[in-house]
Structure 1
Amino acid sequence: MVMEMEPSSATLFFLSVVTLVILVSLVSRKSSSKLRRPPGPRDLPFVGSLHHLLTSQPHVALRNLAKTHGPVMRLRLGQVEAVVVSSSAAAQEVLRDNDLSFASRPNLLATEIMCYGNLDVAFAPYGAYWRALKKLCVLELLSSRKVRQFKAVRDSETMSLIKEICAAGEGGKPVKLRSLLVKCTSSVTGKATFGERCDIDLREQFMAAMEVAQIHSSGFCVGDLFPSLGFLDVATGMRYQLWRARQQLDNVVDKIISDCEARREEKKSTPTGDEDLLSLMLRIRDEGGSDFPIETINIKAIIVDLFTAGTETTSSTAEFVMSELMRNPKVMKKAQEEVRRMMENKSPQDHENHMDELPYLRMVIKETMRLHPVVPLLLPRLCRESCHVGGFEIAKGTRVIINAWALATSPENWNEPEEFRPERFEDSVVVNDKGTQFKLMPFGGGRRMCPGDGFALATLELMVARLLYYFEWSLPDGMRPDELDMDVKVGTTSRRRNELRVVASPCSIPKEI
């Protein structure tokens, strides 16, 4: 039997269906608007947006693009989808609200080879293994207790730096600071990692091998941006060069580990609290019982991280600090007066115990890290699951780049952001450098934040304090402060394009120097 509707009922039914369709359409449209992709510059065939990054300062290029396309910006880098974040609000969504979704790293050819299959802390994929490594770093390798243990190493190596500057600048000759600063930070990291008893020749061979590895790692790998053309990295010799550098590094590390194991056998009674970092890792390997088994290959990967993060980054920051002080004589004078009040009538061995009495120096360092972050784009993240940032959908597999330099120089976050003004940090509660407020992140933020910030800052603060205490500084050849160039070059890290040349006039030099 067929039921028939009265005309009024049919009209009402039709109107209800139409209304339902419209509502569904509106909801669907609203939902799809929430899932829209981020805007971005027009892609070119094949290369996508790569041409925008063919510059020595990609962080500046990306900031300028973001002014047009917004703080959450899509880029196609070759065959790879990427999103660039350039605002504190969007950075908070990535690093706090959706931190777990962005907790992994992309697999890059250089790190895959040089970091032993990404077994290091920086590039290990997120999971149980990475969590075990992070725990090892936070509780053992880079804990506050361990940083304090290496106080004597920092004291010795920074005093050696002062001695070398005295020799290099004898007779008023200009001193090139970068090489001396790198040598100092390398020595601090080397002795903390391998122990002061490690053969000097082996340490020097290791640093030479690391330098070669970093040179090759900063090269362009086709497969990172064009996965389907990865075979070209074989054809161009890039993969071979990386493996050759890895083998050279591996040979030296094997010798250092053998040397360390022999010393451990000789002196098994050494208190565990006084161990160098390599001895500590070897002991953890042998004892087992950790959340994730640590083998020799894992130790090698961690060693690469320690030197990559603990040498050039710290030395580059120190060179930027001295550059800004040379450009700002009033700030230099105020910082020197504070340092000399604190260090006067104290033995050099006691200097580090009083670093808390140098609040202005710490403001100078923090302001330098704001203007000159040594990793201006942080390390890339990989989206593990689709989520939303700034109202846009970020698809699984997308690489996410946070422009930390843009956040640290944004007029939305800072008054007169281009000015070097340490006094802006007088209220340390307002802004810190721990990446929790998403406008100053020299060490990154979220769960992948660098765990070595305490170790780096301890070395940096003592190094800069002693440079200011033991010398009067001036620019060579009558150069005025406003004539000093501050051009930056960004590769693996950011550093001055031209090495800083200064005249160091000794004062208050201890008799032993």
Structure 2
Amino acid sequence: MPILSTVTNLIPAPLRDTAGSAVTALSAYVARVLPFAAAENSSVPLVAVLAVSLGLALALRRALLKSSDATKRLPPGPPAWPIIGHLPLMASTTETDKLIQGLAKEYGPIFHLKLGNVTVIVISSEELARETLIKHGKIYAGRFTGKVLSMSGDGAQDLVMSPYGERWRHLRRVAHKVLTPLALTQMDVMLENESLRMIQQLLEHNDKHRTEPIDIAKRLILYTCNIIAAKSLGVTFASSDNSTFTGLIEAILEVFVIGGVGGLEDYFNGGGLFDYVLTKHKREVMERIKERVHNGFIFGRIRELEAIIKGDLAQGRDPRTDRELCYVEELLLSMNEEKLTLNDIKLLMVDFIFAGIDTTSATLHWVMLYLCNYPQVQKRAQAEADRIVKTHGRLPCFEDMDAMPYTRAIIKEATRIRPVGPLGLPRQTIEEDTVAGYYIPKDAQVIYNTVGIHEGLYPEDTEKFKPERWLAANFNDSGNGPILPAAGSGGRRGSGLKTVAEDGAAPLMAPDEAGHRLDLLDGIYLFGQGRRLCPGVHLALREMFILVSRLMACVTLDSALHPGKPFSDEARFGLTALPKEKVLVTATERDPAMREMLNMEKQQVMKRRVSLSVHT
């Protein structure tokens, strides 16, 4: 490889022998993330080759001359190459989550990796996760941000990627105002409307295209997109064929792809030209996405709403009393009070849309797969929904959450067994720390192994889909642990949790041996914990409950290509982990009389005040 041989020659002679083996091992990683470096007859301009070579040489030199952590007791870890550490190990597989699971089993609940200049700490137990994120929360409140992914937030200025500090706290406070459980009850009409729309579209598909399978992923993405877009921007999409919708979803998926591939630029401090060459293609993709989505669709809609509000105010109308406002309108009206700029509002909307659409739809994707794979589970959920319909003469709604523990258990079990973010978004330490007797350096990348944490919490039949594990009758505790709040109810201030199980559902975690409650929201680590707990967790859980409960009242799901046979539940690793097998389903209508109830529910929803811009 021309770049790699050049690097060795650029290393100072006294260090060259040590660097030689590292440079050779680095070839595997470079061949994966920098394909042009592997070509013997590369057509890449000489300046690019020299830039990468020089950058690597400088980075390797720094690593050889400086090893501040060497004399301190880091957590255990696998043998590493000099200088480049475990980069070749990480490059040896595309299933990074499985690699991490294997290393956790070998090295324990906390271990370390060395990726170039960066120390990576992997935590795989709830006890250590709680210690770091709750007891030492401030230290682990930083965000490890790749150079390319940070571009989506204008250089990590958005809520998701910004460093821990005053700006992050400011954006967090603003976001929380519409994402608390109580505030989310104001969104019930949107969630109910979109759940009805999806079910009606499934039934219409059966009427018109009975023999064609349903790609459930497309339906779920449209469902979650419409909820987020309606609340954020006052926009919905009538169909997944809409060009604006397809462009938006393609952009989200592209960001998740390029953001999920680690680059040398994130692990070596090689200099500006070095970074420029390594990130050129990904930067170009990100710039196109920002032009089309961030500054086009999203900012364009913000400008439209700004003009509408200015017109209302100029004519003496108060928009707050005239219609139900979307989030952008609320922020525009409180810009001075909240000390926000239009760009701040844009970045908040980017985070809402990019983080809120794909992850929730992916979780629902797994729920649908397991409902198809376990007919007995589906029948029990249908019976639970039928009781609501029979008792109240309507479809399930949010006030029924307490009466539908099994439906909630299905959702929890799907998030436990196949978390869509198996490794989450990495944290970064903002100062040194000591955990379990081990030294944790400042600026370490910290990964929370969600699968490992779940396995430790629920070791019995951990690879089996068992919703009943969540029900109080099958739980080892007396039932006084925290449970998910129903319909926006509270509990301990700021916790979002009830302290008593009221609906027959299991406590989501048993107290530990000392009797202390474990502050793990909903018994699932998918949403993180501590200062960077996902602010959209309550919305996501409500989105999933209302759709699953109503689907079970109306249809029976099954595999379209192989009825009665289960789908593979193997996951494809990425920032969002989806099923490897495409989930094509049939949605058989259970009772034609339910259509009249659907229409009645739709009419009730339409009577409630909603003002949306619908993209057909």
Same fold (TM over 0.5): yes
Show the counterpart of 1:150: 187
Shift in alpha-carbon separation, 1:489–1:209, aligned structure 2, 3 A: same
- Candidates 349, 363, 386, aligned match of 2:409: 363
How far residue 265 of structure 1 moved from its aligned partner, in angstroms, is 2.8
Unaligned runs of 5+ in 2: 1-68, 473-478, 482-506, 511-516, 600-616
Deviation string, structure 1 residues 33-75 (Cα, Å, up to 9, x no partner): 9951111111235642234434443222111111212211111
Shift in alpha-carbon separation, 1:155–1:270, aligned structure 2, 3 A: same
Show the counterpart of 1:64: 102
Deviation string, structure 1 residues 401-429 (Cα, Å, up to 9, x no partner): 0101111123x643221121112212362
How far residue 197 of structure 1 moved from its aligned partner, in angstroms, is 8.5
SS in 1 for 2:334: helix
CA contact (8 A) 1:172 1:505 kept: no
Show the counterpart of 1:422: 467
Show the counterpart of 1:252: 297
**Regions of 4+ moved over 6 Å:** 197-201
Show the counterpart of 2:12: none
Distance in 2, matches of 1:244 and 1:196, equals 22
CA contact (8 A) 1:198 1:256 kept: no
Unaligned runs of 5+ in 1: 1-31
Distance in 2, matches of 1:210 and 1:39, equals 41
Show the counterpart of 1:188: 227
2:447 alignment partner AA: I
Show the counterpart of 1:271: 320
Shift in alpha-carbon separation, 1:334–1:206, aligned structure 2, 3 A: closer
SS in 2 for 1:157: helix
SS in 1 for 2:337: coil
Shift in alpha-carbon separation, 1:227–1:164, aligned structure 2, 3 A: farther
Distance in 1, matches of 2:508 and 2:386, equals 27
- Candidates 205, 210, 226, aligned match of 2:268: 226
How far residue 437 of structure 1 moved from its aligned partner, in angstroms, is 3.8
Distance in 2, matches of 1:320 and 1:105, equals 28
Deviation string, structure 1 residues 412-454 (Cα, Å, up to 9, x no partner): 6432211211122123624259982497312111111011111
- Candidates 373, 381, 392, aligned match of 1:327: 373
Show the counterpart of 1:473: 557
Matched ranges for 1:33-432 at <5 A: 35-44=72-81, 47-54=84-91, 55-138=93-176, 140-169=177-206, 170-196=209-235, 205=244, 208-209=247-248, 211-219=250-258, 220=261, 221-228=263-270, 231-232=273-274, 234-235=276-277, 236-249=280-293, 250-267=295-312, 268-271=317-320, 274-285=324-335, 288-290=336-338, 293-344=339-390, 346=392, 351-410=397-456, 413-427=458-472, 429=481, 430-431=507-508
Larger radius of gyration: 1
Identity, % of aligned pairs? 26
Distance in 2, matches of 1:197 and 1:374, equals 25
Distance in 2, matches of 1:277 and 1:305, equals 13
Task: Name the TM-score, length of structure 1 as normaliser.
Answer: 0.85
Aligned residue-pair number: 474
Distance in 1, matches of 2:253 and 2:267, equals 20
Distance in 2, matches of 1:183 and 1:155, equals 14
SS in 2 for 1:184: helix
RMSD: 2.9
CA contact (8 A) 1:35 1:391 kept: no
Deviation string, structure 1 residues 167-192 (Cα, Å, up to 9, x no partner): 33442432110011101110111111
SS in 2 for 1:505: strand
Show the counterpart of 1:11: none
Report which structure shows greater RCO (CA 8 Å, sep ≥6): 1
Distance in 1, matches of 2:272 and 2:120, equals 18
SS in 1 for 2:319: coil
Distance in 2, matches of 1:278 and 1:379, equals 26
Distance in 2, matches of 1:365 and 1:320, equals 9
Distance in 2, matches of 1:204 and 1:266, equals 29
SS in 2 for 1:244: helix
How far residue 145 of structure 1 moved from its aligned partner, in angstroms, is 3.5
Distance in 2, matches of 1:144 and 1:88, equals 25
